[in-house]
């Protein structure tokens, strides 16, 4: 079929009622914008959403769950099947969703709604039904599900694993919504845990699944859920993605760090978890004089990266090393930087990411804030000052730079302080099935032996 001036029709919203296929609409628009068209597995994902009113799309991070969802939403709206969509996501991703909508489907009207305080109800009443898509946060759902109900014809829950605590107020609030369409999106591998899996499906399809189904076992659950569950891994569908080279370096603590480390280790005042946290932090930076063998090594890397004219994202799950590193970068004059940390407002975070993409050399990011939903393919280097105990959190942070659209080889660097809790933690992280209980027990044994 010849598509006369399709990109113009998309821009002015005149596609409603035309019988173009989804592939024709999206591919033509993306080509007109000089953006890579949908890959075959993404088209499969869009069709999977369109054929099912209630499903879980659980592709690996970086496989484009957002664009797949937006493609399906666009088709349903264009066909007149729906008029109101509610996207619920973490607060940190609200503006990211808004930007993606404007980028990929600008013919659809969208609004971010996150009022606070006593004005929330009136704000929701004034916005409901005015935009085809409203984007909001899980906090809004938890505090006032009745405000969201009017927009909830199609509900898309991004990072849907946040609902997996069946007894939480968030899950209870969610169950009051009665959408015609419900799509869960998550890159967290919920299919490895029977309780998580059964909880999500009891929310998704309450007439067919129950939280008690976890007793049936994971394999039987997955068989029952197969028609409503689609998961693709990067290794299966993105063989053409440039490689990521992972570099692990073992580093000696500086004398002042080692002294502080041993003092903490010998202390009898703290609980195991408090001691473990203090030991981990001193592996990054001394609380006494700010000395850090890791940050010294990171600076060496950043100087090389800057000379190459490339960009890097530096992750830390604690703020202090990030701000210290920022001071070191400024003092050395080796490039421009932006921060992405929890105390920033959503608009400030959005501006920081935009500025990094266009102007800056380095993004100093909280591992928790930057692990979800962001696309940072302008960077080719991901540097971890420290790592979280949960392997999936580390992988999600890493995958910010290795996603669809990345055309260059990427590099990941991590550092382990020799003869510290980090060495023991690294052993645990190699076990992808490790739990919080495993970590606590292992650290308790380690600290008892060392102290």
- pLDDT computed for residue 146 by the predictor: 93
- 436-450 helix and 272-284 helix, angle to the nearest 10 degrees: 80
Both 436 and 349 in one domain: the answer is yes
Both 77 and 220 in one domain: the answer is yes
Q: Which domain does 330 fall in, by range?
A: 244-450
Both 248 and 199 in one domain: the answer is no
Both 394 and 287 in one domain: the answer is yes
Residue 42: inside a domain: yes
Both 248 and 196 in one domain: the answer is no
Spans in the chain with pLDDT lower than 70: 1-37, 61-62, 92, 189, 191-192, 238-241, 369-373, 389-394, 429-451
Q: Which of 215, 237, 259 is the last residue in one of the domains?
A: 237
Both 250 and 226 in one domain: the answer is no
- pLDDT computed for residue 323 by the predictor: 95
Residue 1: inside a domain: no
Both 100 and 39 in one domain: the answer is yes
Residue 205: inside a domain: yes
Both 273 and 220 in one domain: the answer is no
Task: Please choose, from the candidates 27, 75, 17, the residue with its C-alpha nearest in 3D space to the C-alpha of residue 6.
Answer: 27
Both 233 and 287 in one domain: the answer is no
- pLDDT computed for residue 81 by the predictor: 95
Both 226 and 259 in one domain: the answer is no
The pTM (predicted TM-score) of the whole model is 0.61
Both 86 and 141 in one domain: the answer is yes
Both 174 and 257 in one domain: the answer is no
Residue 413: inside a domain: yes
CATH code, 277: 3.40.50.300
- pLDDT computed for residue 183 by the predictor: 97
Residue 95: inside a domain: yes
Residue 394: inside a domain: yes
Q: Which of 237, 265, 282 is the last residue in one of the domains?
A: 237
Residue 131: inside a domain: yes
CATH code, 194: 3.40.50.10810
- pLDDT computed for residue 186 by the predictor: 87
Residue 250: inside a domain: yes
Q: Which of 214, 237, 260 is the last residue in one of the domains?
A: 237
Quick: pLDDT tens for 150-200. 999 999 999 898 898 888 999 999 999 999 999 999 877 676 678 888 889
How many domains does the chain divide into?
A: 2
């Amino acid at each position: 079929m010849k598509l006369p001036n399709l990109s113009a029709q998309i821009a002015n919203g005149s596609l409603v009622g035309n019988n173009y296929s989804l592939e024709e609409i999206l591919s033509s628009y993306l080509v007109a914008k000089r953006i890579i068209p949908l890959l075959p597995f993404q088209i499969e994902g869009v069709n999977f959403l369109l054929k099912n009113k209630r499903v879980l799309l659980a592709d690996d991070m970086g496989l484009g769950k957002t664009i797949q969802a937006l493609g399906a939403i666009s088709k349903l709206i264009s066909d007149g099947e729906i008029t109101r969509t509610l996207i619920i996501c973490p607060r940190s991703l609200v503006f990211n969703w808004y930007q993606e909508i404007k980028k990929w489907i600008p013919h659809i009207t969208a609004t971010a709604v996150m009022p606070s305080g006593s004005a929330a109800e009136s704000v929701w009443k004034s916005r409901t039904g005015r935009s085809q898509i409203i984007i909001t946060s899980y906090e809004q759902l938890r505090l006032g599900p009745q405000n969201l109900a009017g927009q909830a014809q199609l509900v898309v829950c991004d990072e849907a694993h946040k609902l997996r605590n069946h007894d939480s107020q968030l899950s209870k609030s969610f169950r009051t919504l009665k959408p015609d369409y419900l799509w869960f999106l998550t890159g967290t591998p919920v299919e490895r845990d029977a309780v998580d899996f059964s909880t999500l499906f009891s929310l998704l399809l309450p007439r067919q699944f129950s939280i008690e189904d976890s007793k049936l076992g994971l394999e039987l659950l997955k068989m029952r859920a197969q028609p409503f569950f689609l998961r693709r891994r990067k290794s299966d569908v993105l063989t053409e993605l440039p490689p990521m080279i992972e570099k692990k370096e073992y580093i000696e603590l500086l004398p002042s760090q080692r002294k502080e480390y041993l003092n903490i280790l010998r202390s009898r005042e703290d609980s195991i978890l408090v001691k473990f946290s203090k030991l981990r932090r001193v592996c990054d930076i001394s609380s006494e004089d700010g000395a850090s063998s890791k940050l010294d090594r990171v600076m060496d890397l950043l100087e090389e990266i800057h000379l190459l004219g490339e960009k890097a994202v530096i992750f830390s799950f604690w703020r202090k090393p990030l701000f210290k590193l920022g001071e070191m970068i400024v003092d050395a004059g080796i490039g421009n930087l932006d921060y992405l940390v929890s105390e920033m407002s959503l608009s400030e975070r959005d501006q920081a990411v935009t500025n990094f993409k266009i102007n800056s050399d380095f993004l100093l990011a909280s591992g928790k804030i930057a692990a979800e939903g962001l696309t940072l393919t302008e960077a080719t280097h991901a540097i971890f000052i420290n790592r979280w105990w949960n392997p999936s959190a580390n992988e999600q942070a890493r995958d910010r730079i290795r996603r669809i659209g990345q055309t260059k080889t990427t590099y990941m660097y991590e550092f382990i302080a020799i003869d510290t809790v980090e060495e023991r933690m690294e052993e645990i992280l190699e076990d992808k099935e490790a739990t919080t209980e495993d970590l606590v027990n292992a650290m308790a044994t380690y600290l008892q032996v060392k102290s």
